[in-house]
A and B are shown apart, each in its own frame.
Chain A
């Protein structure tokens, strides 16, 4: 009996598998299908990017947006998703790349099958994608941080220190390099220390407390990772030095709202994540429609106006400064 069942089932399965796939290739609607892959799904930063992407797909009208990514941030799952979308025959895949090595083969295979691949938020190997939607260059971030501190200090003078992620963190080291270049513009601003916090909020707290002890004249702290920033702010607040020692850095507005409201933090830097999602969808669509080609130097965005393209990097523009006056308008 079971032998017969086995045979029947196998025949059915073969039939099912060989039945011609319907003309699903270009999907039903004729819309440009854009898949947005975050490093990790379910974290506020990426969710707010997806809100912007959703808005772009509504505004443009001829775009069907799919937002999905690994909930555990695993590169293997991200690669599987790229393969799945490639098999489905979507038009554009936009990748925030959590591991260039692991995603490279899947991204190359997608391009070989005619899918347009772009990166956003975090870049991959240059030959695996056509454009990178770059939210902020190290120069923009480094200069932005120093300019903001100088402005918040009023007279742009005194001792300042940096609490970084780890001393080997590539991103942060690039930013620090550009911060030092920019500091030349403010001769009275003196950098006295660069300390690591190893992406540990507790260590950032301790480090900032020790810095204030070691440099009694310290006037400003750059806490340049999203983990270090709240730790440093908490240390200053608990030492009762809110407003006397300034702290600025990169973090999402929601993480820092309380500190901004009680006066510990004057300014928070970050790009507008929604705009990043918005621009990524626009770039993806333009690429699929042939409106954007390699070598272009400018791109016309509906929401952001003209944005610059440097090489194959589409630039989102200067980072946004969140202060007491505007921070309530943002929720991410």
Chain B
């Protein structure tokens, strides 16, 4: 526990304080929202966005970004559905979903590191491609009827999410490779000349991100019992907001998994409360967009304090 908590610094403590204050505020405004039952009932999407936000943290730490997560989830989900339709096997379909995720990640990683195009552009393109293929391959039709074999996967989502977070938090602090990601983010050229495997690390990170997208697609299928090509739409906004709100610098070199966990929790609670209390769906993008702006600004201020011009 102590090892895992290394890297829980003052920014993270501040975030936790903010989260607690918000929850108390939400509780005062609407006590039923805070009940354990309600929180558990509404928690489904949280584990999925956490699973995506943890690898995203590492990608952003190296100074890159993956905007195609949502599209990757959609594409994996559609492939899951198509495979299930033709084979009827949940296991095969799950494997296909993970495989497609890895494929998307590999394409992203190779384009970013070998051809050296900025990840923002590469993943913007693969995002459009992913959604397009998902929509086209499924013709916009939903897939359902996966049966009870898939059900336990949804319950395991929380274990997967926490496992991924704890393991990654320790790994980034304790391992040389984990630490090297920060070096890459601070100065990629210097990292390369110092003998760090910059390209290999980047490809690996994008592949892991893709694999997680595949896993999230399966979890979603288990939770909802139905998948459609639009399920990943807008996910990238939530995931990137969680990461940036968690204190990871969009310029690379700074960030922590614990910050991301708290960021994801904040995004989730704000989203759920807005939906719960005001019942105005159009408010939610407004709030999430606002959170993202505030956190980027806050990050800029922190960077400014640390490195005076």
A residues lining the B interface (CB < 8 Å): 1-3, 5-6, 9, 12-13, 16-22, 24-25, 41-42, 66-72, 74-77, 79-81, 83-84, 86-89, 99, 101-102, 104-105
B142, A84: Cβ atoms closer than 8 Å: no
Tell me the nearest residue of chain A to B223, going by C-beta.
Answer: A105
B39, A17: Cβ atoms closer than 8 Å: yes
A87, B41: Cβ atoms closer than 8 Å: yes
Could you tell me the distance between the alpha carbons of A69 and B280 in the complex, rounded to whole angstroms? Answer: 8
A6, B13: Cβ atoms closer than 8 Å: yes
Q: Specify which chain A residues have a CB less than 8 angstroms from the CB of B226 in the assembled complex.
A: 75, 99, 101-102, 104
A19, B224: Cβ atoms closer than 8 Å: no
Could you tell me the distance between the alpha carbons of A102 and B77 in the complex, rounded to whole angstroms? Answer: 13
Min CB gap B281→A, angstroms: 5
Could you tell me the distance between the alpha carbons of A6 and B279 in the complex, rounded to whole angstroms? Answer: 32
Q: Specify which chain B residues have a CB less than 8 angstroms from the CB of A16 in the assembled complex.
A: 20, 23-24, 27, 34
Could you tell me the distance between the alpha carbons of A163 and B234 in the complex, rounded to whole angstroms? Answer: 35
Could you tell me the distance between the alpha carbons of A17 and B36 in the complex, rounded to whole angstroms? Answer: 6
Could you tell me the distance between the alpha carbons of A3 and B2 in the complex, rounded to whole angstroms? Answer: 10
Q: Which secondary structure dominates where chain B touches chain A?
A: helix
Residues from 80 to 122 in B contacting A, C-beta threshold 8 Å: none
Q: Which secondary structure dominates where chain A touches chain B?
A: helix
Tell me the nearest residue of chain A to B225, going by C-beta.
Answer: A105
B225, A104: Cβ atoms closer than 8 Å: yes
Indicate whether B12 reaches chain A with its CB closer than 8 angstroms. Answer: yes
Indicate whether B8 reaches chain A with its CB closer than 8 angstroms. Answer: yes
Min CB gap B236→A, angstroms: 14
B281, A41: Cβ atoms closer than 8 Å: yes
Tell me the nearest residue of chain B to A4, going by C-beta.
Answer: B13
Report which of B9, B34, B143, B225 forms a contact with A21, defined as CB distance below 8 A. B34
A2, B32: Cβ atoms closer than 8 Å: no
Report which of A41, A77, A83, A102 forms a contact with B142, defined as CB distance below 8 A. A102
A83, B41: Cβ atoms closer than 8 Å: yes
Known: A9-B16, A76-B224. 5 other contacts (CB 8 A): A2-B9, A17-B35, A22-B31, A72-B234, A104-B226
Q: Specify which chain B residues have a CB less than 8 angstroms from the CB of A72 in the assembled complex.
A: 230, 233-234
Report which of B8, B16, B24, B38 forms a contact with A87, defined as CB distance below 8 A. B38
Chain B interface size band reads 35 or more
Min CB gap B19→A, angstroms: 8
Q: Specify which chain B residues have a CB less than 8 angstroms from the CB of A83 in the assembled complex.
A: 41-42, 44
Min CB gap A248→B, angstroms: 28
Indicate whether B156 reaches chain A with its CB closer than 8 angstroms. Answer: no
Report which of A67, A79, A84 forms a contact with B272, defined as CB distance below 8 A. A84
Indicate whether B211 reaches chain A with its CB closer than 8 angstroms. Answer: no
Q: Specify which chain B residues have a CB less than 8 angstroms from the CB of A1 in the assembled complex.
A: 10, 13
A99, B228: Cβ atoms closer than 8 Å: yes
Min CB gap A103→B, angstroms: 8
A101, B225: Cβ atoms closer than 8 Å: yes
Tell me the nearest residue of chain A to B231, going by C-beta.
Answer: A76
Q: Specify which chain A residues have a CB less than 8 angstroms from the CB of B136 in the assembled complex.
A: none
Could you tell me the distance between the alpha carbons of A1 and B17 in the complex, rounded to whole angstroms? Answer: 13
B275, A21: Cβ atoms closer than 8 Å: no
A87, B37: Cβ atoms closer than 8 Å: yes
Indicate whether B145 reaches chain A with its CB closer than 8 angstroms. Answer: yes
Report which of B13, B42, B225, B227 forms a contact with A84, defined as CB distance below 8 A. B42
Tell me the nearest residue of chain A to B41, going by C-beta.
Answer: A87
Could you tell me the distance between the alpha carbons of A5 and B272 in the complex, rounded to whole angstroms? Answer: 26
Could you tell me the distance between the alpha carbons of A42 and B19 in the complex, rounded to whole angstroms? Answer: 31
Q: Specify which chain B residues have a CB less than 8 angstroms from the CB of A25 in the assembled complex.
A: 32
Tell me the nearest residue of chain B to A24, going by C-beta.
Answer: B32
Report which of B12, B34, B234, B285 forms a contact with A19, defined as CB distance below 8 A. B34
Q: Specify which chain B residues have a CB less than 8 angstroms from the CB of A89 in the assembled complex.
A: 32
Could you tell me the distance between the alpha carbons of A67 and B278 in the complex, rounded to whole angstroms? Answer: 11
Could you tell me the distance between the alpha carbons of A332 and B220 in the complex, rounded to whole angstroms? Answer: 37
B276, A84: Cβ atoms closer than 8 Å: yes
A2, B276: Cβ atoms closer than 8 Å: no
B228, A12: Cβ atoms closer than 8 Å: no
> Do A24 and B31 contact each other (CB < 8 Å), given the known contacts A5-B17, A104-B226?
yes
B10, A9: Cβ atoms closer than 8 Å: no
A12, B20: Cβ atoms closer than 8 Å: yes
B34, A84: Cβ atoms closer than 8 Å: no
Report which of A3, A71, A79, A99 forms a contact with B282, defined as CB distance below 8 A. A71
Min CB gap B8→A, angstroms: 6
Could you tell me the distance between the alpha carbons of A80 and B231 in the complex, rounded to whole angstroms? Answer: 12
Report which of A74, A80, A101 forms a contact with B144, defined as CB distance below 8 A. A101
Q: Specify which chain A residues have a CB less than 8 angstroms from the CB of B144 in the assembled complex.
A: 101-102, 104
B16, A19: Cβ atoms closer than 8 Å: no
Q: Specify which chain A residues have a CB less than 8 angstroms from the CB of B12 in the assembled complex.
A: 2
Could you tell me the distance between the alpha carbons of A70 and B227 in the complex, rounded to whole angstroms? Answer: 17
B45, A2: Cβ atoms closer than 8 Å: no
Residues from 269 to 309 in B contacting A, C-beta threshold 8 Å: 272, 275-276, 279-282, 285
- 4 closest pairs, A vs B, by CB? A101-B144, A101-B226, A21-B35, A102-B226
Determine which residue in A12, A79, A80 has the highest number of CB atoms from chain B within 10 A of its CB, and name it. Answer: A80
Could you tell me the distance between the alpha carbons of A66 and B38 in the complex, rounded to whole angstroms? Answer: 19
Mask, B119-145, CB within 8 Å of A = 1, is 000000000000000000000001111
Q: Specify which chain B residues have a CB less than 8 angstroms from the CB of A20 in the assembled complex.
A: 35
Q: Specify which chain B residues have a CB less than 8 angstroms from the CB of A67 in the assembled complex.
A: 279
Could you tell me the distance between the alpha carbons of A105 and B233 in the complex, rounded to whole angstroms? Answer: 21
Could you tell me the distance between the alpha carbons of A158 and B65 in the complex, rounded to whole angstroms? Answer: 63
B38, A88: Cβ atoms closer than 8 Å: yes
